[in-house]
């Protein structure tokens, strides 16, 4: 067993984004590419000797071979113990829980989340810190700086070990524990929700649900919890086998990419409850019979009903949402006399608020919801939260949502994505609009008065850190908003995301088509930003 020090050269562009380093799989397959990034991470961590590391991923192509490399490098860099999910599998929220439970230095997660997988798809790697949450910007910047100067990496020269069976093996002085990736997470869910109440619901012959795992990591989790511990019939979990290419699916739980589930939920014999999760298990979509739930509404509804589930029976400390997420949660927070924080997009911004006990519930419009039990968004947790609400209230999904709208009003909301736009074009579009924001406040546009037009900046109320340039906002008081930002989750070109929100308090006007209601704002955004003129795109790639 030999420790090798391998000479290397920097690869350009290894800057982690909001969710780690994501690139095309072919880039990660370059000799030394993964090794350089991992060594850069280990070099800037505050001491690895004898420490515990959590390791796993979503099962996409390259997951297993990458895990073997990282295990050998962890041993060569002095870690004392690595806990790795059997078969290299570990959902992102489960990894966050394990980091916290075992007092680990952190965890390496192998995933590109909701991006496609396979040899022609995407791969990703990120580090979650000791609190279980995504690494802070100071650490990711240190990794990037180190990646630009790295000259060597360290690795043990040993054969691959068997990570397909639960057990313990040694790599040099380091202990590798292959663990069941599901059991600890499932035990946590039993403490947070009323499993007996949900069992009774699922045993009713009149109640039926479907969960689409999209051939990604939550398949084993959903089968173990929904079909195993809760007693749902076999077949409740569809597409439940994790596959390297996700079965050709784009594992993003929205009405466009979860088309199979949406067809089932819109059929004559539709189940009562539908849900889906993404590649690494941190996102969720909730669907009633022919009735998809907006993620922004979902966050607000969970907040308004939190006391009905055991994990939040004592109430919430506060709510946090990303800036582009609709302001539906703000209205709930105001009614419950709770603080509500508006942060940039990226789960790491919720971490300090959660750690400081300032909030209990967090959410993003991109189908991400989570709470204080981990430091990541958690797809299956959100599904169980909704299922427990349905059981507690004795109402279906649509009835719960409509009751919420009657109480708080409806926030009509939509996101238009323009994917793989040439990066220069996207940058010029944003810069042009940014330069004109100062002249918009006070103007009347599309029959609405502009009360604020700015480039969102955030100052963390806990640690005082600042984040600039987080998205362009055009705000029309409490009535409406338009937001534009560039996404950091793609691997080709740039994705321009445009968000539209219009508040409607009148229940008699809650059944209009979303895109029709938002049409004046959509036309205004085109007029102001010139998307068609500057990019040549005549329509969005995806509308959610």
Catalytic residues: 113
Please state whether beta strands 340-343 and 284-288 pair in parallel, antiparallel, or not at all (unpaired).
unpaired
Spatial separation of the C-alpha atoms in residues 510 and 514, rounded to whole Å: 9
- The answer for residues whose C-beta is within 8 angstroms of residue 167's C-beta and 6 or more apart is 177, 178
H-only helix segments in 273-374: 295-304, 328-335, 348-355
Long-range contacts of residues 26-32, Cβ cutoff 8 Å, at least 24 apart: 26/119, 26/120, 27/123, 28/62, 28/66, 28/123, 28/125, 29/62, 32/6, 32/8, 32/153
Nearest-5° angle of CA 297, CA 271, CA 195? 70
Spatial separation of the C-alpha atoms in residues 112 and 98, rounded to whole Å: 20
How far CA 515 is from CA of 60, 292, 502, in Å, comes to 35, 15, 11
- Residue with structure tokens 């005549």? 538
- The answer for residues whose C-beta is within 8 angstroms of residue 31's C-beta and 6 or more apart is none
Written as six digits, the tokens of 435 are: 């330069």
As a whole number of Å, the CA-based R_g of the chain is 23
Helix pair 295-304, 397-408: axis angle to 10 deg: 80
Residue 317 CA, chain-centre distance (Å), reads 22
- Residue with structure tokens 């990736």? 181
């Amino acid at each position: 067993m030999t420790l090798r020090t391998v000479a290397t050269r920097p690869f350009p562009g290894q800057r982690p984004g909001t969710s780690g380093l994501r690139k095309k799989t072919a880039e990660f397959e370059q000799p030394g590419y993964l090794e350089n990034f991992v060594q850069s991470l280990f070099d800037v961590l505050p001491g690895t000797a004898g420490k515990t590391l959590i390791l796993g991923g979503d099962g996409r192509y390259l997951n297993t071979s990458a895990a073997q490399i990282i295990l050998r490098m962890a041993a060569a860099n002095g870690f004392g113990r690595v806990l790795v999910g059997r078969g290299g599998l570990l959902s992102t929220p489960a990894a966050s829980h394990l980091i916290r439970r075992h007092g680990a230095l952190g965890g390496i997660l192998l995933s590109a989340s909701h991006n496609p997988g396979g040899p022609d798809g995407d791969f990703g790697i990120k580090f979650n810190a000791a609190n279980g949450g995504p690494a802070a910007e100071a650490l990711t910047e240190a990794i990037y700086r180190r990646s630009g100067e790295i000259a060597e990496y360290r690795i043990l020269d040993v054969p691959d070990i068997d990570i397909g069976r639960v057990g313990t093996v040694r790599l040099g002085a380091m202990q590798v524990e292959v663990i069941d990736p599901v059991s600890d997470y499932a035990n946590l869910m039993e403490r947070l929700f009323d499993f007996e109440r949900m069992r009774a619901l699922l045993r009713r012959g009149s109640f039926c649900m479907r969960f689409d795992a999209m051939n990604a990591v939550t398949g084993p989790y959903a089968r173990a919890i929904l079909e195993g511990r809760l007693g749902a019939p076999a077949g409740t979990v569809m597409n439940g086998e994790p596959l390297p290419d996700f079965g050709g699916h784009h594992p993003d739980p929205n009405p466009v990419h979860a088309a199979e589930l949406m067809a089932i939920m819109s059929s004559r014999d539709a189940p009562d409850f539908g849900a889906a999760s993404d590649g690494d298990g941190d996102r969720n979509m909730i669907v009633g019979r022919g009735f998809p739930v907006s993620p922004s509404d979902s966050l607000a509804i969970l907040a308004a009903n939190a006391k009905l589930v055991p994990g939040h029976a004592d109430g919430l400390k506060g709510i946090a949402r990303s800036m582009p997420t609709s302001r539906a949660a703000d209205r709930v927070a105001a009614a419950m006399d709770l603080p509500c924080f508006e942060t940039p997009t990226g789960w790491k911004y919720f971490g300090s608020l959660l750690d400081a006990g300032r909030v209990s519930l967090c959410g993003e419009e991109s189908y991400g919801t989570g709470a204080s039990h981990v430091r990541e968004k958690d797809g299956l947790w959100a599904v169980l939260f909704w299922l427990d609400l349905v059981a507690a209230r004795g109402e279906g999904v649509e009835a719960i949502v409509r009751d919420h709208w009657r109480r708080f009003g409806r926030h009509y909301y939509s996101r238009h994505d323009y994917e793989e736009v040439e990066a220069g074009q996207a940058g010029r579009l944003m810069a042009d609009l940014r330069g004109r924001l100062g002249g918009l406040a006070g103007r009347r546009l599309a029959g609405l008065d502009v009360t604020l037009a700015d480039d969102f900046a955030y100052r963390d109320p806990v640690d005082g850190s600042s984040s600039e340039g987080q998205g362009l906002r055009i705000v029309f008081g409490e009535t409406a908003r338009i937001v534009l930002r560039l996404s950091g989750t793609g691997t080709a070109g740039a994705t321009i995301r445009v968000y539209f929100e219009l508040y409607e308090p009148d229940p008699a006007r809650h059944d209009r088509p979303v895109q029709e209601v938002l049409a004046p704002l959509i036309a205004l955004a085109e007029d102001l930003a010139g998307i068609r003129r500057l990019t040549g795109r005549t329509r969005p790639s995806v509308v959610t």
